[in-house]
């Protein structure tokens, strides 16, 4: 019986794919597992919905010659590319295969990545990169470096157009580290993933400093010190599970809204616990996360950069099923003061939310900007202005709520009415002023206090007067700077109704190529 020509080709194709899989040294997979690392295909299976992956160019091979490359031309060329679904929505992915050339990027490898990035942009779907590569393929020379340039150019073009998520699951050194830095979120796994521009050997040769790879660019370093990574995990499984959760909170592109998912939490649920969670005394500490959990649907929120710049909290959550971005001062860390790192962290988050049509809720309890020589010399003016610029530039619905105190320039920067918040609300315990009463009295009445026979009595009297005249809870509301003073127990209901009113908000910006934000 004669075999149909098409079937012959299908049999041939099956044999090629089987040979490609069999061609991988089994010991390479064993070495990957021994390091606590999964293979590229195993990672993709964890990320995507079961059975949804469609691979692109599985038979691609490099064309390089010399340095022994002509004798080694494995299929896929060390990167797996394609698309699938996460919670039923299309997501594009590429994953370095460390078992082939150590995941190093060559010309064909880069072209595969370029193609999947172009497809993601054209389809308007998120792109997730699973990074585990040894950098540029040295044997291919400058063509490998040019491949990185193509990736960076596409990262930039897709910025604010589709969500881009980098998952660091192995080494990422040199110029390769700039692609994750250009994306919206960076996830890292402890012990197995590192990022640095120059490795420990170069650092030692140039500066004499001795340090390990993890000490230089490990997950905890970047999640807690540099701010390069948004989150760090102990294992790949929990990391990829959180990537899936994050994707469930994001729109597919900048022309859509984030998916709505009602969780059965009543709109009119009273938030009575807020009366005890936030102390009335301005100087008393509390954890703002407890406030967020009381307000949002089922107490669930996805915090970004939890280990970096802890004096401000940035989270994605849902209110009545609709995704919102929450920016909140954290009195439990540095009294919630704004400094360089907090400003940069919040600015980046505000810009992301604005790019992808996610409304912003700002919970304000801020004593001001952090004073100090170090802050001034390191550019608190320039870098603090990033947060101001981000809020002023944002066109999504914006609601600010003063929980307790809001002093000085920090009050203005935290999305006050004067910089464009659509609604500015406050609790009855709010104190909005240029500075705290104690500091204000010391400045305004310095001569009177110093000349008095009883300076402390005069000082306390003037503090009391200043509070009564300029810091009472309704002073800002009387002047139209606060739209309403609300009962803390109604916070959830008021926010949900306000966001529903603003859902169709449209804002026109002046015609321009782009702004020039402070750097």
* Maximal CA-CA distance, the chain: 117
Selection from 156, 310, 145 nearest residue 223 by Cα: 310
Tell me which residue has tokens 């009602």.
Answer: 262
Active site annotation includes 133: no
Does residue 76 contact residue 150 with C-beta atoms inside 8 Å? no
The catalytic position among 175, 310, 321, 408 is 175
Active site residue 347: no
Q: Of 429, 363, 434, whose CA–CA distance to 401 is shortest?
A: 363
Distances from the Cα of 309 to the Cα of 224, 294, 328, angstroms: 8, 23, 12
Centre a 10 Å sphere on the Cβ of residue 504 and count the other Cβ atoms it contains.
7
* 252/505 Cα distance (integer angstroms): 20
d(CA 268, CA 251): 26
Residue 251 backbone dihedrals phi, psi, to 5 degrees: -70, 160
User: Tokens representing 190?
Assistant: 């402890």
Sign of the C-alpha dihedral computed for residues 346, 351, 352 and 357 taken in this order: positive
CA separation, residue 346 to residues 200, 313, 460 (Å): 31, 8, 37
In the residue annotation, 175 being an active-site residue is answered as yes
Letter string b/e over residues 211-227, b meaning 16 or more CB atoms within 10 A of that residue's CB: eebbebbbbebbbbeeb
* CA angle in degrees (0–180, nearest 5) for 306-417-497: 75
CA distance 238 to 46: 10
For tokens 């050194």, the residue is 173
Q: Does the active-site annotation cover 174?
A: yes
- Catalytic site residue from 124, 141, 174, 439: 174
Q: Which of 224, 321, 408, 409 is catalytic?
A: 409
Which residue in 410, 433, 437, 477 is the catalytic one?
Answer: 410
User: CB of 353 within 8 A of CB of 312?
Assistant: no
Query: Which 8-state DSSP code applies to residue 427?
Result: -
User: Are the CB atoms for 190 and 234 separated by under 8 Å?
Assistant: yes
Tell me 372's DSSP state: S
Active site residues: 174-175, 409-410
């Amino acid at each position: 019986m004669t075999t149909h020509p098409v079937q012959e080709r299908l049999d041939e194709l099956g044999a090629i794919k089987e040979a490609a899989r069999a061609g991988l040294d089994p010991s390479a997979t064993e070495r990957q597992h021994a390091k606590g690392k999964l293979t590229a295909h195993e990672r993709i299976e964890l990320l995507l919905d079961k059975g949804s992956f469609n691979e692109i160019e599985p038979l691609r091979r490099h064309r390089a010659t010399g340095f022994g490359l002509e004798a080694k031309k494995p299929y896929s060329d060390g990167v797996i590319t394609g698309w699938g679904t996460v919670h039923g929505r299309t997501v594009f992915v590429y994953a370095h295969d460390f078992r082939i050339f150590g995941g190093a990027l060559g010309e064909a490898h880069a072209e595969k990545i370029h193609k999947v990035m172009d497809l993601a942009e054209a389809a308007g779907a998120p792109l997730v990169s699973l990074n585990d590569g040894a950098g540029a393929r040295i044997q291919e020379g400058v063509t490998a470096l040019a491949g990185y340039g193509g990736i960076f150019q596409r990262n930039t073009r897709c910025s604010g157009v589709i969500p881009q998520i980098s998952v660091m699951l192995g080494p990422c050194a040199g110029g390769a580290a700039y692609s994750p830095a250009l994306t919206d979120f960076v996830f890292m796994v402890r012990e197995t993933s590192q990022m640095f521009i120059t490795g420990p050997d170069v650092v030692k040769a140039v500066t004499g400093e001795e340090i390990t790879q993890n000490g230089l660019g490990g997950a905890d370093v970047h999640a807690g010190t540099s701010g390069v990574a948004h989150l760090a995990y102990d294992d790949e499984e929990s990391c990829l599970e959180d990537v899936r959760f994050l994707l469930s909170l994001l729109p597919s592109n900048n022309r859509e809204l984030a998916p709505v998912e009602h969780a059965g939490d009543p709109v009119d649920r009273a938030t009575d616990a807020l009366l005890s969670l936030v102390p009335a005394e301005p100087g008393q500490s509390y954890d703002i996360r407890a406030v967020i959990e009381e307000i949002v649907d089922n107490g669930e929120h996805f915090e970004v950069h939890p280990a970096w710049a802890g004096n401000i909290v940035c989270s994605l959550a849902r209110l009545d099923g609709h995704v919102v971005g929450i920016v909140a001062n954290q009195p439990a860390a540095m009294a919630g003061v704004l400094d360089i790192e907090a400003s940069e962290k919040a600015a980046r988050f505000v810009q992301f939310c604005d790019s992808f049509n996610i409304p912003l809720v700002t919970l304000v309890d801020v004593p001001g900007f952090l004073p100090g020589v170090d802050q001034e010399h390191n550019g608190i003016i320039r870098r603090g202005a990033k947060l101001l610029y981000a809020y002023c530039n944002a066109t999504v619905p914006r609601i600010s709520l003063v929980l307790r105190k809001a002093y000085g320039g920090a009050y203005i920067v935290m999305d006050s009415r004067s910089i464009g918040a659509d609604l500015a609300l406050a609790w009855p315990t709010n104190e909005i002023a240029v500075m705290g009463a104690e500091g204000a009295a010391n400045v305004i009445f310095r001569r009177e206090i110093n000349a008095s026979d009883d300076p402390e009595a005069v000082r306390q009297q003037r503090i009391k007067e200043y509070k009564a005249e300029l810091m009472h809870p309704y002073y800002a509301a009387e002047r139209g700077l606060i739209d309403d003073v609300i009962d803390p127990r109604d916070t959830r209901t008021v926010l949900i109704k306000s966001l529903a009113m603003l859902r169709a908000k449209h804002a026109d910006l002046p015609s321009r190529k782009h702004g020039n934000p402070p750097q």
